[in-house]
Amino acid sequence: MSDGHDKGQAPATRLVKGGRRPEWTGAVVNPPVWRASTHLYASEAERKAALGKDRDGQFYYGRRGAPTQWALAEALTEIEPGAHGTMLYPSGVAAIAGALFAVLRPGDELLVSDNSYEPTRDMARGLLARMGITHRFFDPLDLDTYREMFHEQTKAVWLESPGSLTMEVCDVPALAAIARDNVAVTLIDNTWPTPIGFTALEHGCDIAVMSLSKHVGGHSDLMMGSASAGEHWYRRLRQTSHQLGQVVSPDDAALALRGLRTMGIRLERSTQSALQIAKWLKSRPEVAQVLCPMLPGDSGHKLWRRDFTGGCGLFSIVIRGEDRAASARLVDNLELFGIGYSWGGYESLALPFDPSGIRDTMRWPPQGVDDGLRSGVRLSIGLEDPDDLIADLEQGLTAMGSP
């Protein structure tokens, strides 16, 4: 469904134009919410003629969506250079499962980046293992060890950059090239940058997965996921998704489409605010380290500058001192930051974390931080005034107490 794909236009323009076909929108700006199970045919001959055809963007039955979902999928395809199509899923985790099932079969091995989102790790250890698909975790910053891990059964690699919670940027083009040399497929969780910040397929990945619950929705009011790919893998994604019976509601698709239209400026604003706040936090005595690739001096900053065209409002800090309760005191004392999961909404959030139990090969705390320090806090910077957020963090850190 890549009709209307105009590579000559800038991402900001594609975010606005994507998926707005006149036959889907009619005389209004946005495609209406088409609530539908049954799609009616004009005649039995027409129904028969539609059987077995490649049906993207054509009426068939509700499980294959209707113009509201098609418009969202097409808009996501149009902002992902190299994509032939996009499948939608009821959550980001469902998209991860859908993409892995499209690629893997019993007997295959999956290599999983050690800083992947925790439910992705759980999926490898649980569901995939039960289906006879093995996995090993690898340190995406250690290319030499990674290169040696491939064997005949290694069929796919799962990447995430920056990594969940700890925010390491990895050399995606190099990791994907090594996978390709070993005839393995590269999948990436591209939720943090979105294609506006990192064009995953152009950088060597075969399938780019996103949780649309984050930046695309942008308003903390919907759950959805997507997977985009070139023609070969798109067809496999679609076939697998149809066999699993995956479909998203047209109401949520309309919300996601509405979010997508303003995603570019929301990302720009939250990136600026996050950078200002990260710089301020770096100067605070209570903060041992700021984990934010947008920040000059961060271990991932060089790769981020080389490969990315944007950032977002999500980064982490490591609290100084061995007091494990400190991060709880900090977030309990914040007034403008909610405590909760998810991120990428218009409102700021703070989440204490300690990844030491969910890493197999990577070190926590990160390089340059004392071993005793474990307490992390992940911040999702929203659209509030950054000076107000800094004032809130200042009083929160003061109330938390010095190390």
Ligand X SMILES: *Cc1c(COP(=O)(O)O)cnc(C)c1O
Residue 94 Cβ, how far from ligand X at the closest point, in Å? 7
189 is an active site residue: yes
Task: Lay out the sheet containing 338-339: strands in order across.
Answer: 287-291, 314-319, 376-380, 349-353, 338-339
Closer to ligand X by CB, 211 or 289: give it: 211
Catalytic position from the list 121, 214, 266, 320: 214
Q: Which is nearer to ligand X, 164 or 228 (CB)?
A: 164
Q: Which is nearer to ligand X, 65 or 344 (CB)?
A: 344
41 belongs to the catalytic site? no
Q: Which of 35, 47, 48, 63 is catalytic?
A: 63
Q: Smallest distance, Å, CB 53 to ligand X? A: 32
**Measured between alpha carbons, how far is 275 from 271 in angstroms, rounded to an integer?**
6
Closer CB to ligand X, 167 or 277, in the complex: 167
CB of 329 to ligand X, least distance (A): 25
54 is catalytic: no
Shortest Å distance, C-beta 318 to ligand X: 19
Q: How far is the CB of 313 from ligand X (least distance, A)?
A: 13
Choose between 203 and 214: whose C-beta lies nearer to ligand X. Answer: 214
- Return the number of the residue (159 or 275) whose C-beta is nearest ligand X: 159
**Pairing label, strands 314-319, 287-291:** antiparallel
For ligand X, the closer CB: 56 or 160: 160
234 in catalytic set: no
Q: How far is the CB of 100 from ligand X (least distance, A)?
A: 13
Q: In this structure, what DSSP letter does residue 265 have?
A: H
If you write DSSP's letter for every residue of 82-147 in order, what string do you get? T-SEEEEESSHHHHHHHHHHHH--TT-EEEEETTS-HHHHHHIIIIIHHTT-EEEEE-TT-HHHHH
Tokens standing for residue 180: 């390709």
Determine which one of 117, 146, 234, 252 is catalytic. Answer: 117
Residues at the interface with ligand X (CB under 6 A): 91-93, 117, 160, 164, 189, 191, 211, 213-214, 223, 225, 342
From the list 108, 114, 139, 189, the catalytic residue is 189
Q: Which residue is nearest to ligand X (CB)?
A: 92
CB of 343 to ligand X, least distance (A): 7
Catalytic residues: 63, 117, 189, 214
